[in-house]
A and B are shown apart, each in its own frame.
Chain A
């Protein structure tokens, strides 16, 4: 699998099984250069001279969790609207211009950030900088463009969520996991709220958040800071800074009761179960706990030699898949999860018991020094592979910088993973794998209409 899982990161509505073996970070020593423009816009350059190509990205430190109450989906909807034209670029022309110059472009939105990117030949870098800077301040929106695009987003929601029971259950489990924090809302938004979003909502959102002091420019490829700086100043540096943006995020109260969400549908082909635990993120974890949790996820369920797969799939033979994941790239909370799907003919209850048994055993016995060493070795190797691609570095660094971390954090990732001890992994497991701060999500196959 490619190191970047853009689609899975984006809206978080993916089927649970997709994440079974997903690794959560691929940072490495990318040797980036960084500086800040006078208006507060941070710039990061990651030279990579393999091909005469650059990847140009602008990240806004604003995502779905920054939306006003009742306007769920506006961050993602607005991302679509950024392609609807400016005072000098007609609607739809942005992407067409990039394509005419041999480039590719797109954008994505998550809970904590929204990013726009173009991949172009090196000699087209200035062109895309001009276009991207233009839409940071000169966007023009009218109902004529906005309303059909809202229909497009509703179709997107149907494709991603409404047509897919696994995604619907995932949405319900996120809503149950967070009692108070806006991570409980899906990035794409709730249907009834998307339907009510207006041009005015979009413009308000734009004026509030799309300012250079809330943005990060990241350019990777055949360029260095010395070449980029004058261009960054020329196109982005002239945009006036807005007022300081403070991210007001509410906190979760103590979790005292575990929750359970279940869904049964005739459209389910294969049942599944997941246990989702509230966890700290890179940004909020104390000490190196987030790194310990990453190692834990790898040891417990990151591969086909990990405990969960070995126990449930190979030895007991009751599951067709089993794994664990940890998502630490968040400004506020991470999620630690374990999941499994029964082998055909095996009741889901049996798999649930086994899954809980494995968690219990993990908490009782802990992980071993040998397991730790193997997991760390494999994780550190993934950082070398990440350097092989032009796209990994700017994505990893952008994600870090827009979720409260630093370039140094990214650069030191392999060392921090190597520094994790057995005691830290076991302490992290005990702190996070608590049933009262978890949601059990069960997807069932409904056999015939009316039977359940």
Chain B
């Protein structure tokens, strides 16, 4: 593979799709969004598409991410995600798994920092049975002792693995430094100590607080009619509690500004992550920042960082930046991996590019190229029902409106060179970057 996509440590951060890629021209003739309201009042966005007898449904509970894990119970949301297909109703773990497999349904739950999500796919022919099993999983999870113990053991094993993984080590340290004492600074996977305390009662409490109708968002694509979907929405979500006490997460601004941390690990290549405060998804300058990021470090081979760090100097296989907005904080982050002897030079080049764009903005040619990419690459994301459902969910989560798909490209096209200069100056602060290096970098002085 010629290039590495940004290494996302799944346990720690999850990038909203829109934040990373931006949306572009919507081929509206190809996509028609229907707003479905079930007889019981559950709402969903649907793109009906009969080309393959498959149905994809993505859904989210807005306030159910790892940030809501009670103190001492870190890792709870992710454990629930791993437990929901481990038995429900009268079906014990292996029976549930067997039926799910015989139905050929695909069911997966995840917890990002802010949200709890589910993704579900079924063949049209098996949809009755598949939706029934999904409904059972959400409404009547068993959380039997044996599977709880088994999954807990798996999570602890994976925590032991990630404790030696340079990317995980670095990310955990970075968030801990930047958000001390805040839920965003804690590891979403929990710690071995916290996970050991998680029992069925905790899991049930999570369901009551977070898996509730008033925080639900649903998106569906594939071979299903609005009427058919309406019935299933009631079956799956209709009997969930109307609301729950999710708790609050406080707004927070990144700290550890400008600090450099080195975590000594005997490896030939250092993994480096850096970042400072960013811009929230609902900020009016979001689109301008998206274009800036595309040009600086979010554009694969077209980016300035890739050109300077990799192409010209051969310093790294991958170097990247990304906007990373949360519900209660905003970050602008990046990363690089390079031989221990070349960390200092790599960071110097990266900081210089940060400063250059802050001082001078971008060229007209770069701006035009970024716009055509952001707008032109959009339809590439609509090649499967799963990806269409995922997009519909992101648009709803970010409150972008049903017409967003039509107006998106004009928002990008409206960005000017002057806008970029104004926002780049504010956004890009090379001296503010908090840097974490895992490895044995030469010539780096950590902040005392």
Taking the complex as formed, is B384 at the interface, i.e. its CB lies under 8 A from any CB of chain A? yes
A95 touches B301 (CB 8 A): yes
Given contacts A7-B1, A95-B301, A107-B1, contact A385 B383 (CB under 8 A): no
Given contacts A53-B380, A390-B384, contact A96 B369 (CB under 8 A): yes
CA distance A159 to B373 in the complex (A): 28
Distance in Å: Cβ of B331 to nearest Cβ of chain A: 23
Taking the complex as formed, is A108 at the interface, i.e. its CB lies under 8 A from any CB of chain B? yes
Given contacts A155-B337, A388-B52, contact A148 B376 (CB under 8 A): no
Cβ-closest chain A residue relative to B157: A320
A99 touches B158 (CB 8 A): no
CA distance A24 to B146 in the complex (A): 31
CA distance A391 to B386 in the complex (A): 13
Taking the complex as formed, is B197 at the interface, i.e. its CB lies under 8 A from any CB of chain A? no
**B residues less than 8 Å from A434 (CB atoms):** none
A378 touches B104 (CB 8 A): yes
A304 touches B97 (CB 8 A): yes
Cβ-closest chain B residue relative to A386: B52
Given contacts A159-B4, A270-B158, contact A102 B377 (CB under 8 A): yes
A103 touches B160 (CB 8 A): no
**A residues less than 8 Å from B339 (CB atoms):** 154-155, 158
**A residues less than 8 Å from B244 (CB atoms):** none
Chain A binder among B134-142, B163-171, B399-407: B163-171
Q: Which of these, A104, A378, A385, contacts B54 with CB under 8 Å?
A: A385
B338 touches A314 (CB 8 A): no
Cβ-closest chain A residue relative to B95: A305
Taking the complex as formed, is A428 at the interface, i.e. its CB lies under 8 A from any CB of chain B? no
A107-126, CB under 8 A of B: which get 1 and which 0? 11100000000011100100
Given contacts A50-B383, A101-B372, contact A79 B2 (CB under 8 A): yes
Q: Which of these, B268, B377, B380, contacts A158 with CB under 8 Å?
A: B268
A106 touches B380 (CB 8 A): no
**A residues less than 8 Å from B307 (CB atoms):** 92
Distance in Å: Cβ of A131 to nearest Cβ of chain B: 14
Cβ-closest chain A residue relative to B24: A102
B375 touches A99 (CB 8 A): no
**A residues less than 8 Å from B1 (CB atoms):** 6-7, 10-11, 106-109
CA distance A156 to B315 in the complex (A): 10
Distance in Å: Cβ of B101 to nearest Cβ of chain A: 6
CA distance A99 to B149 in the complex (A): 49
B165 touches A389 (CB 8 A): no
B381-420, CB under 8 A of A: which get 1 and which 0? 0111111000000000000000000000000000000000
Q: Which of these, B94, B101, B165, contacts A378 with CB under 8 Å?
A: B101
Given contacts A108-B1, A305-B97, A317-B150, contact A99 B299 (CB under 8 A): yes
Identify the interface centre among A303, A344, A382: most chain B CB within 10 Å of its CB.
A344
A162 touches B94 (CB 8 A): no
Taking the complex as formed, is A395 at the interface, i.e. its CB lies under 8 A from any CB of chain B? no
Taking the complex as formed, is A52 at the interface, i.e. its CB lies under 8 A from any CB of chain B? yes
Cβ-closest chain A residue relative to B338: A155
**A residues less than 8 Å from B312 (CB atoms):** 148
Taking CB atoms and an 8 Å cut-off, the chain A residues in 1-53 that contact chain B are: 6-7, 10-11, 17, 48-53
A269 touches B165 (CB 8 A): yes
**A residues less than 8 Å from B382 (CB atoms):** 50-51, 53
Cβ-closest chain B residue relative to A91: B311
Q: Which of these, B2, B97, B146, B154, contacts A320 with CB under 8 Å?
A: B154
Taking CB atoms and an 8 Å cut-off, the chain B residues in 259-308 that contact chain A are: 265-269, 271, 299-302, 307
Taking the complex as formed, is B314 at the interface, i.e. its CB lies under 8 A from any CB of chain A? yes
Q: Which of these, B121, B265, B299, B314, contacts A150 with CB under 8 Å?
A: B314
A384 touches B54 (CB 8 A): yes
Taking the complex as formed, is B106 at the interface, i.e. its CB lies under 8 A from any CB of chain A? yes
**B residues less than 8 Å from A80 (CB atoms):** 2
**B residues less than 8 Å from A266 (CB atoms):** 164, 266
Taking CB atoms and an 8 Å cut-off, the chain A residues in 139-170 that contact chain B are: 147-156, 158-159, 162-163
Distance in Å: Cβ of B81 to nearest Cβ of chain A: 15
A102 touches B373 (CB 8 A): yes
A391 touches B338 (CB 8 A): no
Taking the complex as formed, is A238 at the interface, i.e. its CB lies under 8 A from any CB of chain B? no
B104 touches A163 (CB 8 A): no
Taking the complex as formed, is B445 at the interface, i.e. its CB lies under 8 A from any CB of chain A? no
Interface size on A, as a range, is 35 or more
A99 touches B268 (CB 8 A): no
B301 touches A92 (CB 8 A): yes
Taking the complex as formed, is B39 at the interface, i.e. its CB lies under 8 A from any CB of chain A? no
A158 touches B52 (CB 8 A): no
CA distance A106 to B318 in the complex (A): 13
Q: Which of these, B54, B162, B166, contacts A388 with CB under 8 Å?
A: B54
Taking the complex as formed, is B161 at the interface, i.e. its CB lies under 8 A from any CB of chain A? yes
Distance in Å: Cβ of A146 to nearest Cβ of chain B: 10
CA distance A390 to B273 in the complex (A): 34
A103 touches B377 (CB 8 A): yes
Given contacts A99-B373, A270-B161, contact A155 B315 (CB under 8 A): yes
Cβ-closest chain A residue relative to B159: A269
Taking the complex as formed, is A313 at the interface, i.e. its CB lies under 8 A from any CB of chain B? yes
CA distance A49 to B157 in the complex (A): 45
Cβ-closest chain A residue relative to B162: A269
Taking the complex as formed, is B102 at the interface, i.e. its CB lies under 8 A from any CB of chain A? yes
Taking CB atoms and an 8 Å cut-off, the chain B residues in 6-29 that contact chain A are: 24, 27
B377 touches A95 (CB 8 A): no
Distance in Å: Cβ of A348 to nearest Cβ of chain B: 12
**B residues less than 8 Å from A148 (CB atoms):** 311-314
B22-43, CB under 8 A of A: which get 1 and which 0? 0010010010000000000000
Cβ-closest chain B residue relative to A95: B301
A344 touches B160 (CB 8 A): yes
Q: Which of these, A53, A100, A377, contacts B369 with CB under 8 Å?
A: A100
A151 touches B30 (CB 8 A): no
CA distance A321 to B150 in the complex (A): 10
CA distance A157 to B149 in the complex (A): 38
**B residues less than 8 Å from A343 (CB atoms):** 153, 157
Taking CB atoms and an 8 Å cut-off, the chain B residues in 306-353 that contact chain A are: 307, 310-318, 337-339
CA distance A344 to B193 in the complex (A): 13
Taking the complex as formed, is B446 at the interface, i.e. its CB lies under 8 A from any CB of chain A? no
A310 touches B166 (CB 8 A): no
Taking CB atoms and an 8 Å cut-off, the chain A residues in 312-371 that contact chain B are: 313-314, 317, 320-321, 341-344
Given contacts A6-B1, A344-B157, A384-B53, contact A159 B310 (CB under 8 A): no
Besides the contacts A150-B314, A384-B123, what 6 more A-B pairs have beta carbons closer than 8 Å? A7-B1, A83-B2, A120-B380, A151-B315, A266-B164, A388-B386
Offer 25 A-B interface pairs, CB within 8 angstroms, sorted by A: A6-B1, A10-B1, A17-B161, A53-B383, A99-B369, A100-B369, A102-B378, A104-B380, A106-B1, A106-B2, A109-B1, A152-B317, A153-B317, A163-B271, A267-B164, A313-B150, A317-B150, A320-B158, A342-B157, A344-B160, A374-B98, A377-B102, A378-B102, A385-B106, A388-B222
Interface residues of A (CB under 8 A from B): 6-7, 10-11, 17, 48-53, 79-80, 83, 91-92, 95-96, 99-104, 106-109, 119-121, 124, 147-156, 158-159, 162-163, 266-270, 303-305, 310, 313-314, 317, 320-321, 341-344, 374, 377-378, 381-382, 384-385, 387-391
A-B residue pairs, 8 tightest by C-beta = A102-B376, A148-B314, A151-B314, A381-B104, A269-B164, A390-B383, A158-B269, A95-B301
